[in-house]
């Protein structure tokens, strides 16, 4: 996952309309913290930098370097799990 990657949810993966849960084939992933918010931003247009910028606006005072590292880490993990693609 790079800053200019455009991540999106893999086919057959979607956010539960109300709960902090990602519905995936044969199962669910419970989403913690701002994960749901981050996944909601993956519209196939925004790249990782755009997502980070949006988050920094929402969470005023958050450390940009930290947010960037966390977002990249999270998306990497979800990509390894097969639920996010670039």
Cα separation, 43 vs 37, in Å, equals 12
x/- mask, another protein, residues 24-53, rule CB under 8 A, reads: xxxxx-------------------------
Taking the complex as a whole, the smallest distance from the CB of residue 12 to another protein amounts, in Å, to 2
Choose among 28, 55, 25: nearest CA to 40. 55
Strand order from edge to edge, sheet including 27-30:
14-15, 21-24, 27-30
Among 2, 3, 14, 73, binds another protein (CB under 8 A): 14
Does 17 sit near another protein (CB under 8 A)?
yes
Q: Which is nearer to another protein, 11 or 61 (CB)?
A: 11
Query: Within 13 Å, how many C-alpha atoms sit on residue 31's CB side?
Result: 22
Does 73 sit near another protein (CB under 8 A)?
no
Where does this chain bind another protein (CB under 8 A)? 10-14, 16-17, 21, 23-28, 79-82
């Amino acid at each position: 996952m790079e800053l200019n990657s455009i991540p999106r949810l893999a086919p057959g993966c979607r956010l539960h309309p109300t709960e902090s849960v990602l519905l995936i084939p044969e199962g669910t992933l419970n989403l913690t913290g701002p994960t749901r918010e981050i996944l909601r931003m993956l519209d196939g247009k925004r790249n990782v930098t755009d997502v980070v910028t949006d988050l920094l606006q929402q969470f005023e005072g958050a450390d940009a370097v930290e947010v960037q590292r966390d977002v990249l880490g999270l998306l990497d993990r979800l990509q390894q799990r097969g639920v996010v693609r670039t």
